[in-house]
Chain A
Amino acid sequence: MSASDTQSADVERIWEVLDQVKDPEIPAVSIIEMGMIAGVERTDASTVVRMTPTFAACPAIELMKGLVRDALTDAGYANVSVQIVFDPPWTTDRITEAGLVKLQGFGLAPPERMDGREVSPADLADVPCPYCSSKHTSMESPFGPTLCRSIHYCNDCLQSFEHIKPVG
């Protein structure tokens, strides 16, 4: 293998390690499935992970930086650093298809795809219930227990549920 092949295989392995790091607030999904990893750079001397946070004020940022550093250090990488970046900005469209399915399984209604659209109140009006799939639901509050969730109520199965609110 050439030196560059070795390096790209190595970067691929780093992504595999990062896929084991879970979102501390939603342990069903990894930080890769949540779309939080913007890039990985590997040189002989160091490994740099660029992370784009879901919300600028997410209180788990420092915790996740530590989890990433620990996971890569345990996997044998030296001089690991994690940079917080806002470019590209995180949007809910960065969540992978597998991530959406796992959110649903965790009891959180997944966000609609925005495709560059800006969010409007209509996007929150009839979110499908993650328990019974009914669209006969209403939004209770655009703010929930964490910055990335809104609170809804299902008028068919009479359950409150949370939704990862779309950010375009």
Chain B
Amino acid sequence: MTTFANAESVAGEVKDALIDLIYRLADDDLILGHRNSVWTGLAPILEADIAMSSLAQDEIGQAVAYYTLLHELGEDDPDTLAFARGVEDYRCASLTVLDRGDWAFTTVRQYFYDVYKTHRLAALTESAYVPLAQLARKVRGEQKYHMMHSRMWVSRLGDATDESHQRMQAAVDALYGHALGLFEPTPHEAVAVEAGFCVAEADLLAAWRAEVEPMFEQAGLTSPGDAKPVYGGRRGAHAAELQTLLDEMQQVYRLEPTAAW
């Protein structure tokens, strides 16, 4: 496989495909990290509170690392990318955009995302773009703890009590189509796969299903058979909730974009 050692070694449509891929990775982490941060001080027990804050911190920090790769590829600096883009420029999936919901909703969303991210990172460690492969190898070690946390909560709440089961199943029903939207095909996918930057979305989805199904069986949960994928996020078509989130997240930055912190 031909590898690409650095930003100078990619050009043309191959570079466009790489940039599109990294925006998807970065924006998912930034937006979900922001959603998770709102649990700080509110989670049901102290350990869960610390965990949600840590998840948010990891995700936002990893987003910064991806934005740094984008900056090396000629995009704006990380702060500008996080805080000064318009809503249609974000490439996050709808799963990450949704408001936090109750604890079951948060738990199922995080589990769906962590299974996706774990398989995504495993494939990216072999990426032909060397800086991305190096970053993936780093983040993968951190992601183990996210996955451990998500599995533990799904397995406990899935069949703990009638209420916990009902809430978890309702969250699964509400979120399954959004989870499928993580794997939305993009016009750049064929080029990105051909260049060896990432694997096909369909292959990732197969790996995702193969992990989720046995966990659901163990936790007493059922995948809705008729869930339709919610697409649009990967091309910048978002629900109004994202604009509301950005209004809040970007508010301070936009007051004085040149301020030093």
Contacts and interface: CB of A to CB of B under 8 A. Distances in A.
Interface in A41-57: 55-57
30 contacts: A55-B58, A55-B61, A55-B142, A56-B58, A56-B61, A56-B138, A57-B59, A57-B61, A57-B62, A85-B134, A86-B134, A86-B138, A87-B137, A89-B134, A89-B137, A89-B138, A118-B144, A119-B148, A121-B152, A141-B50, A142-B148, A142-B149, A143-B50, A143-B51, A143-B54, A143-B145, A151-B50, A165-B145, A167-B141, A167-B142
Interface of B: 47, 50-51, 53-55, 57-62, 64-65, 134-135, 137-139, 141-142, 144-145, 148-149, 152
A58 B148 contact: no
Which secondary structure dominates where chain A touches chain B? loop
A57 B64 contact: yes
Nearest to A124: B148
Interface in A138-168: 140-145, 147, 151, 165, 167-168
Interface in A77-112: 85-87, 89-91
A57 B47 contact: no
Contacts of A91: 141
B62 A56 contact: yes
Interface residues of A, number: 25
A143 B135 CA distance: 22
Given A142-B148, A143-B145, A167-B141, A57 B60 contact: yes
Contact of B144 (A58, A119, A144): A119
Given A57-B64, A142-B148, A147 B58 contact: yes
A71 B60 CA distance: 30
Contact of A58 (B60, B61, B139): B61
Which secondary structure dominates where chain B touches chain A? helix
Which of B54, B62, B149 counts the most chain A CB atoms within 10 A?
B54
Contacts of B55: 143
Given A91-B141, A140-B47, A86 B148 contact: no
A115 to B, nearest CB: 14
A86 B137 contact: yes
A167 B137 CA distance: 11
Contacts of A119: 141, 144-145, 148
Contacts of A121: 148, 152
Contacts of B152: 121
Contacts of A55: 58, 61, 142
B54 A147 contact: yes
B50 A147 contact: no
Nearest to B137: A89
A6 to B, nearest CB: 32
Given A56-B139, A57-B57, A57-B60, A87 B50 contact: no
Given A143-B54, A144-B50, 15 more contacts: A56-B62, A56-B142, A57-B57, A57-B59, A57-B60, A86-B138, A87-B134, A90-B138, A119-B141, A119-B145, A119-B148, A142-B51, A143-B50, A145-B50, A147-B57
B144 A57 contact: no
Contacts of A85: 134
A90 B152 CA distance: 26
A49 to B, nearest CB: 18
A119 B118 CA distance: 14
